[in-house]
Structure 1
């Protein structure tokens, strides 16, 4: 976890509290040592954040320094928790970590009753990954980075009929269909939009080329095409 994120979480964990929050509890929540908590709190105090208390006693924000917390209904909160759990279970490792960090920040600013409601959500997405699933998660991370950076990819791919081919593609998006992920692309070999399943990609190489969106070959055109005439999986 980045230090800036830790400092944010410490401040928000103290918001609205009437009693001191022990440093040990902060350490457990942030998964850091007590020494790190002490140092971070001291740095916040030195920078002007009105935190009162000391090591061994606990910390509170000075009265009048608090601001209203984020407000969610119980249903909205449960949706956020469920969404985070699904991302952790089925997305790539990087996105899963980011989703978990986001949820920690949200929970840090919730009133105690809603924080307890979040902890008691009965919607789960168990993480039971084997070696193959870990490899798919790593592939999703690589594909996600290529989508964000507009990097042209060369894919060694095996389709549903067991036929192998090499494709040069412009990666446009990743989609999750409830049972499988697909990489939405403009395929230069087919000169058309095509979807590829990450679990069928034998290897993925960057060509060294960065592409620029072009009308008719960009994400907007892809979404229209998928909506009006689903091209199917290669």
Structure 2
């Protein structure tokens, strides 16, 4: 690995870590020596990268520091392209368009030597996935999640029983042929999952729910761990 690439990777490691990283941990991740890590950290600090560190504790990157846009490695580009391909084939129309635009923007912005990685990728998302017909606009549901707004659902379950509920949507999940709206249900006073193809109508209300979507997602993950032993990802 070139030293310039290694310096960039060190910043990336520190940025995504929520706690201090030791030189030994960084060296293991980058498959280099601790001595090289010490020299690289010193070089970054000399370039005014706001890294703080203590012997025996580790290094942290101060918040607010950012790198130039799209300073991506070949692997990162392929990961982004693969994810965008998946969304283009499985997302709602607005997300699918955004995914195709993202691939075009990456191709137009990365250095010339990396452009083939975008335009002729070695990875591909398998096509042929067909979502069951939906009567709701998933872009509206995503908008409700971003703005923490309640949604009035008219829903038909697998037994053909229809109910009307007010829910607090906080996540859209994807299964083989269906999208799932994960929400807190005011009627049941509990978490519930609603198959999008079984929603008859969905009205985004003006009322905001009294919790942050991120907090509900954290509670949902804790609920899954407790009830089903599902690990965090």
**TM-score interval (norm. to shorter):** 0.5 to 0.7
Distance, in Å, in 1 between the alignment partners of 2:212 and 2:98 is 30
Structure 2 unaligned segments of length 5 or more: list them.
Answer: 1-67, 229-233
The residue aligned with 1:92 is: 92
**Is contact 1:69–1:110 with CA below 8 Å preserved after alignment?**
no
**What is the CA deviation profile of residues 139-185 of structure 1, one whole-angstrom value per residue up to 9, with x for unaligned ones?**
21111111111111111111123222111111111122344321111
**What is the CA deviation profile of residues 173-212 of structure 1, one whole-angstrom value per residue up to 9, with x for unaligned ones?**
1122344321111101111011111111011123432212
The residue aligned with 2:226 is: 228
**What is the CA deviation profile of residues 46-78 of structure 1, one whole-angstrom value per residue up to 9, with x for unaligned ones?**
xxxxxxxxxxxxxxxxxxxxxx98443433222
The residue aligned with 1:111 is: 111
Query: 1:87 Cα shift?
Result: 0.8
The residue aligned with 2:146 is: 148
Distance, in Å, in 1 between the alignment partners of 2:195 and 2:225 is 19
Distance, in Å, in 2 between the alignment partners of 1:110 and 1:214 is 35
Which of 171, 178, 182 is the matching residue for 1:173? 171
Distance, in Å, in 2 between the alignment partners of 1:81 and 1:184 is 27
The residue aligned with 2:124 is: 123
**Is contact 2:178–2:195 with CA below 8 Å preserved after alignment?**
yes
Per the alignment, do residues 70 and 165 of structure 1 end up closer, same or farther by CA in structure 2, a change over 3 Å counting?
A: closer
Per the alignment, do residues 229 and 117 of structure 1 end up closer, same or farther by CA in structure 2, a change over 3 Å counting?
A: same
Q: How many residues align?
A: 159
**What is the CA deviation profile of residues 81-119 of structure 1, one whole-angstrom value per residue up to 9, with x for unaligned ones?**
111011111112222222333322222222323211222
**Is contact 2:155–2:163 with CA below 8 Å preserved after alignment?**
yes
Distance, in Å, in 2 between the alignment partners of 1:119 and 1:99 is 14
Distance, in Å, in 2 between the alignment partners of 1:214 and 1:70 is 30
Distance, in Å, in 1 between the alignment partners of 2:206 and 2:142 is 16
The SS at the match of 1:106 is helix
TM-score for the superposition, normalised by structure 1: 0.58
Distance, in Å, in 2 between the alignment partners of 1:94 and 1:126 is 18
The residue aligned with 1:29 is: none
Query: 1:126 Cα shift?
Result: 3.6
The residue aligned with 2:36 is: none
The SS at the match of 1:72 is coil
Per the alignment, do residues 206 and 70 of structure 1 end up closer, same or farther by CA in structure 2, a change over 3 Å counting?
A: closer
The RMSD of aligned alpha carbons is: 2.8
Per the alignment, do residues 70 and 153 of structure 1 end up closer, same or farther by CA in structure 2, a change over 3 Å counting?
A: closer
Query: 1:229 Cα shift?
Result: 1.7
